[in-house]
Chain A
Amino acid sequence: MTDTTLSLPEAPEPSPAMKLLRRFLGQKAFVIGTGILAVIVLLALAAPLIAPHDPYLQNLDLRTIPPVWYEKGTWAHPLGTDQLGRDYLSRVVYGARISLLIGVSVVVISGLIGTALGLAAGYFGGRVDLLVTFLVTTRLSMPVILVALAVVAMIGGSLWIVILVLGFLKWDRFAVVMRSATQQVRSLDYVAAAESAGASTTRIVLGEVLPNIAPHLIVVATLEAASAILLEAALSFLGLGVQPPLPSWGLMISEAKAYMFFSFWLIAIPGTALALLIFAINLAGDGLRDVISPEGRA
């Protein structure tokens, strides 16, 4: 009557959580990526404790002091000072806050929009799907940077404007990925079983569909966060994003460009920080994707 009486000596199975953890740790890319990311997040959170000076405090007597590893460097300003005499280490550390804030906020906004549209399109199909597909195509036909430029040029730039503009522009990948993932799950029998149990559409979408497509969501979120941070840097560099005196990395590069040939570190330091953050997020995202669907690697 049963196929359950298993009397064979079985090696104790590690718990599912343990197994997943092992798979994550087996991914070097993931470990390195999340490692760097964790350090940057910690620095950003602890910025007031770490920063040796006020990042906004100008001192025109101490302009463009080089970092300590230069002959004229001083430990009072480990990464030197900028063209207005502000401590560069403090500005870089506070700049991490801006980049992370941009990454997270943009992903939250665009993720909500894109996931809602993608879920609706994938679950209901038919006309809803047609409508969402049309919206995605329309959105894809607008170049993000140009639209952002236009909006900022019209209503002026600020941190929150940048976040809103990017948030409302970058939902397309969420929508596309969530749509196809939902379509897949929608056709599975456990969704039909939940329907047959009388479950409401909301309950099915939140309880049966969403948990099973969440891994895809996380992967897209990491990639989109990286791209949002880069876009913010680009907009700020063009003077249309975050406005001075906020220490955005893109803005710092922009402000320093006149000094490029005399004080190279002014560009190199925020540039390196930006590259490292993007590199870490992409590594973590790639690793995550490999752990979640080893076969789905493009």
Chain B
Amino acid sequence: MSSLQNDVILAVDGLSVDIATQRGTLHAVRDISFEVKRGETLCLVGESGCGKSMTSLAIMDLLPKGATRRARRLAFAGEDLSRAGARRINALRGDRMAMIFQEPMTALNPAYTIGNQLVEAYRLHRKASEAEARERAVHLLGKVGIASAGERLGQYPHQLSGGLRQRVMIAMALMCGPDLLIADEPTTALDVTIQAQILRLLADLQRELGIAMVLITHDLGVVARIADRVAVMYAGQIVEEGPTAALFGNPRHPYTRGLIDCIPVPGRTQPGGKLGVIPGVVPSLVGDVRGCSFRDRCAFAREACAAAPPVHRAPDGQSWRCILENAA
């Protein structure tokens, strides 16, 4: 059984993020729990303000000033990060857990060449010679599909297109051979044709290297194509989680269902017809938040929704936080 235990790379249990604002405490992430296994892709999906990015920053201990993290347990490969010191986190970050951001231009330093940054990323964590690090950089640039990698090493970030920069970011994240890759909207800033290429690359690399990946996105299309499992976030909570096919085939939470119905799908939605809508707006997460946070927008809301909704679990691994026991 212990081998199964070891398969879990990231175990998040009861993670909350609070942000101090002038109007009170904003509960950006509220008591969420999930696991990611080796070789698995988990997508955190939700709309702006749902807490998905805060979750990723909390795991990497990169929260902005004013935001505080609490967790019962935040285990990376069995080691509880919530109790680890800053030095230990620094040692893990960029080495065994790596992150890719939405806008590679802000994550790459414009003053250094691609080569410098890749080599630096490696030698920060590994005792390696410059030459060894360069060799690995060339190898990885080739792996992310960049031809004439040796030449690219001498270029600066601004000399590359957005798609190439994102490839460089991926190569940089892979330099130390991480166990966990967190990608926050990695393709949102890219054109659609480039997005498909980058996602394919990520999926291939992840499969080949057996990395666990947490991909954060607002795009259900991306989720459907790349995720093994999906966690749908709403107002700081995970409202539904499950295997991708099950979740899209049979969404149990009214929010998940609503989100899927909002999207026009060529060949499926009637052109010019009415799209589904979710009425109302996301509630404020400042101060006390009680009961189901979706109830003001939910067609199935009833009095019982004023209390915290139970979490139901189906045998196929799907779970949802709603008073409804069956599909919405």
Direct A/B contact, Cβ within 8 angstroms: yes
Residues of chain A having any CB pair with chain B under 8 Å? 1-8, 10-11
**Using Cβ atoms and an 8 Å threshold, which residues of chain B touch A3?**
279-281
CB interface residues, B 243-292, toward A, < 8 Å: 277, 279-281, 283-284, 287
Interface residues of A, dominant DSSP: loop
Interface residues of B, dominant DSSP: loop
- Pairs across A and B, CB under 8 Å, 12 listed: A1-B277, A1-B279, A3-B280, A3-B281, A5-B280, A6-B280, A6-B281, A7-B280, A7-B296, A8-B296, A10-B284, A11-B287
**Using Cβ atoms and an 8 Å threshold, which residues of chain B touch A4?**
281
Report B282-322 CB contacts with A as 1/0, cut-off 8 Å: 01100100000000100000000000000000000000000
Chain A CB within 8 A of B127 CB: no
A85 to chain B, nearest CB (A): 58
Chain A CB within 8 A of B23 CB: yes
Q: By the criterion CB–CB under 8 Å, are B277 and A8 in contact?
A: no
**Using Cβ atoms and an 8 Å threshold, which residues of chain B touch A11?**
23, 287
Number of interface residues of B (CB under 8 A): 9
**Using Cβ atoms and an 8 Å threshold, which residues of chain B touch A5?**
279-280
Give Cα distance in the complex from A34 to B277, angstroms.
51
Give Cα distance in the complex from A10 to B283, angstroms.
10
**Using Cβ atoms and an 8 Å threshold, which residues of chain B touch A6?**
280-281, 296
Give Cα distance in the complex from A10 to B280, angstroms.
14
B26 to chain A, nearest CB (A): 13
B80 to chain A, nearest CB (A): 37
**Using Cβ atoms and an 8 Å threshold, which residues of chain A touch B296?**
6-8
Q: By the criterion CB–CB under 8 Å, are B279 and A8 in contact?
A: no
B278 to chain A, nearest CB (A): 8
Give Cα distance in the complex from A3 to B287, angstroms.
22
**Using Cβ atoms and an 8 Å threshold, which residues of chain A touch B279?**
1-3, 5
7 extra A-B contacts, CB within 8 A, seeds A1-B279, A3-B279, A7-B280: A4-B281, A5-B280, A6-B281, A6-B296, A7-B296, A8-B296, A11-B23
**Using Cβ atoms and an 8 Å threshold, which residues of chain A touch B284?**
8, 10
